[in-house]
Amino acid sequence: MSQAPALELESDLSQAMQRGELELFFQAKGDLHNGRIHGAEALLRWWRGERLTQPGEFIPVAEKSGLIVPIGAWVIDAACAYLQTWAKIGIGDTRLAVNVSARQLLAGNLEAVVSDALARHGVRPECLELELTESMLMDDPEAASALLLRLKDIGVKISLDDFGTGYSCFANLSRFPLDALKIDQSFVRLMVEEANTAAIVAAIIALAHRLGLRVVAEGVETEAQLAYLRRLGCDEIQGFLFSRPVPEADYLALLAQGKTVSGQPEEAARTLLLVDDEPAILSALRRMLRQEGYRILTANNAVEGLERLALEPVQVVISDQRMPGMAGTEFLSRVKTMHPDCLRIILSGQAELPAVLDAINDGAVYKFFTKPWDDAHLRERIREAFRVQAVLASLKPSRP
């Protein structure tokens, strides 16, 4: 007796896992700060007979029947298996995001599924990212928030998918422990032509940054969308323009080619000057910032630093405080007068704070960071400094 198509689909799907018919495709995300591939999103595909079916056709059935719970666990395990393989062939810093459905959240075993998969494949938790949507958190926000905190304790990253559809509540961005926010493709599509959509996208990006979240734009299909998102300070893009979802071999080929996002801002727009009398500090900073795409200049003392600034435009300068000849604060107060558009940062020992305080209060120093530093934190603060500098510089023509 033949079944109704929906039932048939469900019964086929229930066997798809055992039959090895499920496959993950990978869609690269491009980092707008350095132009490189930041990682990928794993998207499920089902070989139903000869035909490759898309999630739109079977995820709703999987959700309704509850099959999404075992399928979702398979996706998490498969993603970790890929991460393990990639680490073995030397691409260990790749990030992989998986989509998690509401049913998985409610099933009560998500934490165990995630930590078992990480342990089984020996994967660093920060390489795995879970993409959730806002609506699935809103059924029971307190329970969801507690679960997300436990997942964060494991060390995985969490991002909010399809932001802008459904609730789109700004308060939720601080209520849940998130790392990133993905702007839904419907906004990206309209943003270039519609002033209101553009304003919403700009506000989402600005607010997310204030809350310390990275912003990913989904469904980027045109150069115009890319350029506009870059100008608004978006951190990453995902979309057909950069790459379609592709099988593993094609994704690895993209990584091997070193594919980059087109149209990086001119180098001169992002030049960083590092001034420190200790060569080891200069090389540690250089190494830490290698992937950020800045043009990096160095100087061993303040006078050399001033010479470099006279020679070419520099947007951000980071200086040590204790240097022979001229202290960092004196150096930066000169920079303030001579190159007011250059954003000034001191990176020095905690003990130097009293000496630096006056300079901060005088506005000669924008930020004071202490040695030893935390790489990820300092990198983020430097990105922020470039963003702030760009905003200040763009305001300049309208100043009285």
Residue among 82 and 331 whose Cβ is closer to ligand C2E? 82
Site for ligand C2E in 148-187 (CB under 6 A): 161-162, 185
Q: Among residues 68 and 158, whose Cβ is nearest to ligand C2E?
A: 68
115 in Cβ contact with 156 (< 8 Å): no
Residues 85 and 89: their CA atoms lie apart, in Å, by 7
| Residue 217 CB contacts under 8 Å (≥ 6 apart), including other chains | 182, 183, 188, 201, 225, 229, 234, 236, 237, 238, 239
- Does 59 bind ligand C2E (CB under 6 A)? Our answer is yes
Output the smallest distance, CB 85 to ligand C2E, in A: 18
Q: How many residues bind ligand C2E (CB under 6 A)?
A: 25
Least separation in angstroms between residue 149's CB and ligand C2E is: 21
Tell me which of ligand C2E, Mg ion, none is bound by residue 312, counting a contact when its beta carbon lies within the kind-specific cut-off of 5 to 8 angstroms.
none
For ligand C2E, give the closer residue by CB, 139 or 312.
Answer: 139
Query: What are the distances in angstroms from CA 355 to CA 57, 87, 105, 303, 321?
Result: 64, 46, 52, 20, 9
Single out the residue of 49, 56, 90, 324 in contact with ligand C2E (rule: CB under 6 A): 56
Closest CA to 220 of 230, 209, 205: 230
The strand pairing partners of 33, in sequence order, are none
> What is the per-residue binding string for ligand C2E in 115-134, x denoting contact by CB under 6 A?
----------------x---
Q: Are 180 and 216 in contact (CB under 8 A)?
A: yes
d(CA 257, CA 231): 26
- Span interacting with Mg ion, options 9-17, 56-64, 156-164, 287-295, rule CB under 5 A: 156-164
Among 35, 55, 70, 293, binds ligand C2E (CB under 6 A): 55
| Run of H or E residues at 5 | helix 5-16
Q: Which stretch binds ligand C2E (CB under 6 A): 195-203, 214-222, 224-232, 384-392?
A: 214-222
Q: Are 261 and 226 in contact (CB under 8 A)?
A: yes
The correct pick among 99, 271, 298, 329 for binding ligand C2E (CB under 6 A) is: 99
Determine which residue in the list 131, 134, 320, 352 makes contact with Mg ion, applying CB under 5 A: 131
Q: How close are the terminal C-alpha atoms of the chain, in Å?
A: 82
Closest residue to Mg ion, Cβ-based? Answer: 131
Residues in contact with 87: Cβ distance below 8 Å, sequence separation at least 6, in sequence order:
122, 123
Residue from 13, 16, 28, 43 that binds ligand C2E (CB under 6 A)? Answer: 43
For position 161 contacting Mg ion by CB under 5 A, the verdict is yes
CB within 8 Å of 18: residues ≥ 6 apart = none
Contact between 193 and 162 under an 8 Å Cβ cutoff? The reply is no
35: partner contacted, choices Mg ion, ligand C2E, none (Cβ within 5-8 A by kind): none
Q: Which is nearer to Mg ion, 40 or 73 (CB)?
A: 40
Distance CA 74, CA 116 (A): 12
Binding-site member from 52, 120, 224, 240 for ligand C2E (CB under 6 A) = 240
Please pick, from the candidates 134, 162, 236, 352, the single residue that binds Mg ion as defined by CB under 5 A: 162
Is the CB of 161 or the CB of 352 nearer to Mg ion? 161
* Interface with ligand C2E, residue 75, by CB under 6 A: yes
β partners of residue 316 = 272, 343
User: Between 101 and 300, whose beta carbon lies closer to ligand C2E?
Assistant: 101
Residue 72 binding ligand C2E, by CB under 6 A: yes
Using CB under 5 A as the binding rule, whether residue 134 contacts Mg ion is answered as no
Torsion angles phi and psi, residue 184, rounded to 5: -65, 150
Query: Which is closer to ligand C2E, CB of 97 or CB of 343?
Result: 97
Residue with tokens 């600034």: 309
User: CA-based angle 108:148:187, to the nearest 5?
Assistant: 115
Segment near Mg ion (CB under 5 A), from 10-18, 48-56, 153-161, 228-236?
153-161
User: H or E element: which one contains 161?
Assistant: strand 157-163
Provide the strand spans (E) within 8-127.
22-31, 37-48, 51-53, 96-99
**77 scored as a contact of ligand C2E (CB under 6 A):** no
Name the residues that contact ligand C2E, by CB under 6 A: 27, 43-44, 54-56, 59, 68, 72, 75, 98-99, 101, 131, 161-162, 185, 218-221, 238-240, 245
Name the residues that contact Mg ion, by CB under 5 A: 99, 131, 161-162, 218
